[in-house]
Chains A and B, each alone.
Chain A
Amino acid sequence: MSDLLDLKLVFVTGKGGTGKTTVASALALFAASRGKRVLICEVDAKGDVAGFYEAPPTGFHEKEILPGLFAMTMDTEASLREYLKLQLRIPVVGRIGPLAKAFDFVATAAPGVREILTVGKLCYEVRERSYDLVVVDAPASGHIVGQLAAPQAINNLVKVGLIRSQTDWMLDILSDPRTTGLVAVCTPEEMPVNETIDLAGRIKAETTVQLSAVVVNRVLPELFGRQEEEVFDALSSELPTERLDALVGADAAPVLDAARLAVTMRRTRSTHLVRLRQGIDESVPMLYLPYLFTRSHGLRTTRQVAASLGEELGY
């Protein structure tokens, strides 16, 4: 199950609110802790990633924020500038004014231009730079398909020219299941499960990228075994509760209610987990991360999630 770390390029996506950025940050941190040279790239630019490492905000040019761990934020215009400099040897400086406008214009008009510049830059990092692993905090599942399908879509639209030849090698990188993979982050709730199953289908139908793993985040612990649950049921009935109130000298109801809530939550969520497993191809591994009852966020949480992820990956 350690395959995920053998990839070169991992896109991490998921429905909003499922912990996509947390998982991407944790995956990068874990890989770096295993001695890999890792780049984490934030595409869904909310400026969150740096916060997950307690680092100052990142920019288009990567910075080493922890040993072996580099971070950058995608900027499609900067990506175009870099591309022009590298590919066309156009001295950009003098013309950047009109170029920026032209870019904005073409990017708004022509489908996939922003997407291709994003994916292109990532593929470039994989091909040309010395990273062992590039982790992408990718757009949410609603947008990721469009992004990953862009090189193919452009390939179909543009028959000649530089872009055409560029998309060919990008497709080589994206289509190789030993190089590139997609990780879908999900929580055991109704909507995220629906969306993840839907995403898996669309990824298969519309892109050349393989779904490498589904990370199920925030799995609640099983509170009781079956016999313990019988004890709990008995405890929740009238006489034992009254007895308990008397023994502790206070109202025990909130504590019992909380346990009941935890059991119900866990139970509702299990049915979604079953549905998720049934809805996703058997060959795709599921990695389960526990719900964190913690008051912190930031690097402390990222480390906890990284540790759980490492365990699930079999390290």
Chain B
Amino acid sequence: MAERAERAERADRERGERGRGRVERRSRGPAGSGSMDGLLATKEIAIACGPGGVGKTTTAAAAAVMAAVRHGSKVLVLTIDPAMRLADALPPAPIGNTEHRVPDEAFRAAGIKPRGQLWAAMLDTKESWDALIRRHAPDRQTREEILANPLYQNISGRFVQSHDYIAMERLYEIHSDGDYDLIVVDTPPTRNALDFLDAPQRMADFFSSRLLRWLIVPYRSRLVNVATKPFYTIADRILGTEFLGDISEFFILFQSMYDGFVERSESVGRLLSDRRTTFMVVSTLEAVPLREAEFFAEQLNARKLHLGAIVLNKVLPSYLRGSEGTEVAEALKDRSEELAAALAPTLLAVDPSLGDTDQIVRVLNEVADSYLNFQVVALREMEEQATLSVMPDVLATVPFFDTDLYDLGGLYRLGEQIWD
């Protein structure tokens, strides 16, 4: 803790010295009072996570845009599965694993002057797996055999959980290269939000498993001992000998890379708990996603991972919660005929083509109902926020935007909301 505060101070000082003379807020204060500005100034990796459909990818991109524009650092946003429009927002549209710089002209076109650089990359699962194999394969022949193995192709391309691991692996690789001041990454849509946290450990366990050796033994020697025989009998009956053979070949090939893989996945795991890494939990204020986000935040704390921020997206405007509005809405309903008659002359003065007062009555009622309807939702949202059990350094709420945000200017506007 103390170290983190120190680091924040140092970063603030350094930025001051470099003449970016704004008054900086400290990142550490009472829970929830810190700023994203301060948080991202002191971290090297920010991982956006949380339930699906709450704007994780967009939030990650907006935070990266802000850090590049305001901090003057070199920032990479690594997106796992961006929708086409988000790719458009960070031109040129990324292809494969290649990191590309968002050109200054794109910022200028959106009316923004960046101090730093924004880079973007997409995760290509297959390409990343292939790169991993190339790195660890002991020789050319093993490499080619693995890349051609049908089981490998299935795992790297389709196997759902492989996404979880490879995303973190790629993050590690990019961070190790040391090309960026800050890497912002969004997490793959996992069945369980925790999957990707466990992925490195699971991968390490997997390759050090005794069962892996069991499975490989009979294809190396015909000696099968009494203890393992039932296993093969069952496996054989279920999977068929040929498939079992395929699996074994695959793992025999993989064994040559065993040490490298285990070591690597352990390093990836360490990076997640490194002091330079922080997590941003993203949610909306709807009950189900919020409970999921909360659970996730608790798990981060339990694992001693750094919960830097909770970002609450699509929050309805505060004017919906006022009691004065309720009174006005009720008056519109109760006195709609009287009000319509009184308003008619003024309305006709604005637009002489308007119809009869019945229409005004209907509009007043619709307007009032709509307010009261949305108020129910807005109050529910507030109640949800008030019951949040976890408090990170930074708690940011982002108002509902009535237009789509998928361009650089939109991301910047969103970013401004979470920044201070």
Q: State the A residues within 8 Å of B (CB).
A: 15-18, 21, 44-46, 48, 84, 88, 90, 95, 98-99, 101-102, 105-106, 108-112, 139-140, 142-143, 146, 153, 157-164, 190-192, 194-195, 223-224, 227-228, 230-235, 237, 239-240, 243-244, 247-248, 250-259, 261-262, 264-265, 268, 293-295, 297
In angstroms, Cα B161 to Cα A256, docked, is 49
Q: Determine the residue in chain A with the shortest Cβ distance to B236.
A: A161
Q: Determine the residue in chain B with the shortest Cβ distance to A143.
A: B160
Least Cβ distance of A75 to chain B in Å?
A: 13
A-B contact pairs, 16 of them (CB 8 A): A99-B231, A108-B161, A108-B206, A143-B191, A157-B246, A161-B242, A190-B83, A194-B85, A239-B346, A247-B342, A258-B317, A258-B320, A258-B370, A258-B375, A259-B371, A297-B287
A192 CB contacts on chain B under 8 angstroms: 53
Confirm or deny: B389 has a beta carbon within 8 angstroms of a beta carbon on chain A. no
Assuming A195-B83, A223-B366, A265-B402, is B328 touching A252 (CB within 8 A)?
yes
A295 & B363 in contact (Cβ 8 Å cutoff): no
Q: Determine the residue in chain A with the shortest Cβ distance to B292.
A: A46
Confirm or deny: B379 has a beta carbon within 8 angstroms of a beta carbon on chain A. yes
B240 CB contacts on chain A under 8 angstroms: 158-164
A254 CB contacts on chain B under 8 angstroms: 319-320, 322, 324-325, 328, 371
In angstroms, Cα B81 to Cα A57, docked, is 33
B160 & A146 in contact (Cβ 8 Å cutoff): yes
In angstroms, Cα B370 to Cα A140, docked, is 32
A95 CB contacts on chain B under 8 angstroms: 230
A255 & B329 in contact (Cβ 8 Å cutoff): yes
Task: Identify the stretch in B127-135, B264-272, B348-356 within 8 Å (CB) of chain A at 4 or more residues.
Answer: B348-356
Contacting residue for A251 out of B238, B242, B324, B342, CB 8 A: B324
Least Cβ distance of A234 to chain B in Å?
A: 4
A232 & B346 in contact (Cβ 8 Å cutoff): no
Confirm or deny: B158 has a beta carbon within 8 angstroms of a beta carbon on chain A. yes
A16, A46, A262, most chain B CB atoms within 10 A? A16
B374 & A231 in contact (Cβ 8 Å cutoff): no
B322 CB contacts on chain A under 8 angstroms: 254
A231 & B404 in contact (Cβ 8 Å cutoff): no
Confirm or deny: B209 has a beta carbon within 8 angstroms of a beta carbon on chain A. yes
A228 CB contacts on chain B under 8 angstroms: 359, 362-363, 366
Assuming A102-B211, A161-B243, A228-B359, is B85 touching A256 (CB within 8 A)?
no
A250 CB contacts on chain B under 8 angstroms: 324, 327-328, 331
A102 CB contacts on chain B under 8 angstroms: 211, 231, 234-235
Q: Determine the residue in chain A with the shortest Cβ distance to B320.
A: A258
In angstroms, Cα B324 to Cα A140, docked, is 42
B286, B287, B288, most chain A CB atoms within 10 A? B288
B404 & A248 in contact (Cβ 8 Å cutoff): no
Known A17-B52, A157-B151; 18 more pairs at CB < 8 Å: A15-B53, A17-B289, A106-B247, A109-B151, A110-B151, A142-B81, A143-B160, A146-B160, A153-B154, A235-B360, A235-B367, A250-B327, A255-B367, A268-B403, A293-B373, A293-B377, A295-B376, A297-B288
B339 & A248 in contact (Cβ 8 Å cutoff): yes
Contacting residue for B209 out of A105, A191, A230, A231, CB 8 A: A105
Least Cβ distance of B373 to chain A in Å?
A: 4
Least Cβ distance of B168 to chain A in Å?
A: 16
Confirm or deny: B251 has a beta carbon within 8 angstroms of a beta carbon on chain A. yes
B154 CB contacts on chain A under 8 angstroms: 111-112, 153, 157
Assuming A15-B52, A157-B154, A240-B347, is B359 touching A227 (CB within 8 A)?
yes
B374 & A261 in contact (Cβ 8 Å cutoff): yes
Assuming A102-B211, A261-B374, is B327 touching A231 (CB within 8 A)?
no
Least Cβ distance of B72 to chain A in Å?
A: 31
Q: Determine the residue in chain B with the shortest Cβ distance to A43.
A: B191
Closest 8 CB pairs of A and B: A16-B52, A17-B53, A161-B240, A293-B373, A254-B319, A16-B53, A254-B325, A111-B154
In angstroms, Cα B192 to Cα A17, docked, is 14
Within 8 A of A (CB), among B239-298: 239-243, 246-247, 250-251, 284, 286-289, 292
Assuming A164-B240, A191-B53, is B346 touching A240 (CB within 8 A)?
yes
Least Cβ distance of A26 to chain B in Å?
A: 14
B158 & A111 in contact (Cβ 8 Å cutoff): yes
Contacting residue for A105 out of B161, B212, B287, CB 8 A: B212
Q: Determine the residue in chain A with the shortest Cβ distance to B378.
A: A258
B406 & A190 in contact (Cβ 8 Å cutoff): yes
A158 & B239 in contact (Cβ 8 Å cutoff): yes
Contacting residue for A232 out of B332, B367, B379, CB 8 A: B367
Q: Determine the residue in chain B with the shortest Cβ distance to A253.
A: B319
A146 & B402 in contact (Cβ 8 Å cutoff): no
Contacting residue for A264 out of B155, B188, B377, B402, CB 8 A: B402
A18 CB contacts on chain B under 8 angstroms: 53
In angstroms, Cα B148 to Cα A46, docked, is 37
Contacting residue for A268 out of B362, B368, B404, CB 8 A: B404
A237 & B350 in contact (Cβ 8 Å cutoff): yes
A111 & B371 in contact (Cβ 8 Å cutoff): no
Least Cβ distance of B109 to chain A in Å?
A: 21
Contacting residue for B189 out of A142, A261, A265, CB 8 A: A142
B284 CB contacts on chain A under 8 angstroms: 17
In angstroms, Cα B43 to Cα A67, docked, is 55
Contacting residue for B351 out of A146, A195, A230, A256, CB 8 A: A230
B355 & A227 in contact (Cβ 8 Å cutoff): yes
A157 & B231 in contact (Cβ 8 Å cutoff): no
Assuming A17-B53, A17-B289, is B332 touching A255 (CB within 8 A)?
yes
B230 CB contacts on chain A under 8 angstroms: 95, 98
B84 & A194 in contact (Cβ 8 Å cutoff): yes
Confirm or deny: B343 has a beta carbon within 8 angstroms of a beta carbon on chain A. yes
Contacting residue for B158 out of A146, A231, A295, CB 8 A: A146
Confirm or deny: B18 has a beta carbon within 8 angstroms of a beta carbon on chain A. no
Contacting residue for B350 out of A108, A164, A239, CB 8 A: A239
Confirm or deny: B215 has a beta carbon within 8 angstroms of a beta carbon on chain A. yes
Least Cβ distance of B401 to chain A in Å?
A: 10
A190 & B85 in contact (Cβ 8 Å cutoff): yes
Assuming A88-B237, A195-B83, A254-B371, is B242 touching A159 (CB within 8 A)?
yes
Contacting residue for B191 out of A44, A223, A256, CB 8 A: A44
Confirm or deny: B380 has a beta carbon within 8 angstroms of a beta carbon on chain A. yes
Q: Determine the residue in chain B with the shortest Cβ distance to A292.
A: B377
A231 & B339 in contact (Cβ 8 Å cutoff): no
Contacting residue for A258 out of B235, B288, B325, B403, CB 8 A: B325
In angstroms, Cα B406 to Cα A190, docked, is 10
